[in-house]
Chains A and B, each alone.
Chain A
Amino acid sequence: MANVTGVVPTPAKNAGDVRSRAARLIKPGGTRGGRRRSLTPYLFLVIPVGLLVLLTYVPVANMFFYSITDWDGLDKTKNVIGFDNYVSVFTEPDNLRVFVVSLYYFAGSFVQMALALYFATLLSFKVRFKNLWKGFLFFPYLINGVAIGLIFLNFVKPGGGLDSTLMALGLDSLVKQWTGDPDVINYTLAGVSVWRYMGLNFVMFLGAIQSVPRDIYEAADLDGATRWHQFRHIILPSIRPIVGLSFILAISGSLSVFEIPYIMTGGANGSETFVIRTVRMAFVNNKVGLASAMAVVLLIIVLLVTWLQRRLVPDEEVDIV
Chain B
Amino acid sequence: MNGVKKGVGGTLKYASLVLGAVLAMLPLVLIITGSFKTDQEFLSTGPFKAPASWTNFSNYATAFTEGGMLRAFGNTIIIFTVAIIGTIFIGAAAAYALDRFTFFGRKAVLGLFLLATLVPAVTTQVATFQIIKALGLYNTQGALILLFTGTDIVSIYIFVQFMRSIPRSLDEAAKMDGAGHVRIFLRIIVPNLKPAIATVVIIKGIAIYNEFYMPFLYLTDPEKRPISTTLFAFKGPYGSQWEVISAGIVITIIPILLLFLFLQKYIYNGFTSGATK
Contacts and interface: CB of A to CB of B under 8 A. Distances in A.
Max chain B CB contacts within 10 Å: which of A54, A146, A227, A275?
A146
Contacts of B57: none
Contacts of A177: none
Max chain B CB contacts within 10 Å: which of A19, A135, A137, A147?
A147
B48 A56 contact: no
Closest 9 CB pairs of A and B: A12-B104, A51-B150, A59-B127, A207-B272, A41-B101, A44-B97, A136-B21, A48-B94, A41-B97
Contact of B124 (A56, A134, A138): A56
Contacts of A288: 126
B127 A292 contact: yes
Interface stretch (A95-103, A149-157, A182-190): A149-157
Nearest to A291: B126
B256 A142 contact: yes
A154 B246 contact: yes
B2 A226 contact: yes
Contacts of B100: 41
A220 interface: no
B28 A151 contact: yes
Interface of B: 1-3, 9, 13-14, 16-17, 20-21, 23-28, 30-31, 34, 46-48, 90-91, 93-94, 96-98, 100-106, 108-109, 112-114, 116-120, 122-131, 146-147, 149-151, 153-154, 156-157, 175-176, 181, 185, 206, 209-210, 212-213, 217, 227-229, 231-232, 234-235, 242, 245-246, 248-249, 252-253, 256-257, 260, 264, 267-268, 271-272, 274-277
Contact of A321 (B24, B98, B119, B274): B274
Given A151-B31, A263-B212, A51 B149 contact: yes
A111 interface: no
Given A11-B104, A52-B113, A298-B123, A146 B272 contact: no
A136 B20 contact: yes
A155 to B, nearest CB: 4
A295 B117 contact: no
Given A145-B212, A147-B253, A256-B123, 13 more contacts: A4-B112, A12-B105, A15-B104, A44-B94, A48-B91, A55-B151, A56-B116, A62-B130, A150-B231, A150-B245, A161-B27, A164-B46, A298-B122
Contacts of B17: 119, 122, 127, 133
B27 A151 contact: yes
B106 A54 contact: no
Contacts of A164: 46-48
Contact of B3 (A54, A133, A226, A321): A226
A6 to B, nearest CB: 9
18 contacts: A7-B104, A40-B97, A54-B150, A58-B127, A59-B124, A60-B119, A63-B127, A142-B210, A146-B229, A154-B34, A154-B47, A164-B46, A203-B272, A227-B1, A228-B2, A263-B212, A278-B126, A321-B114
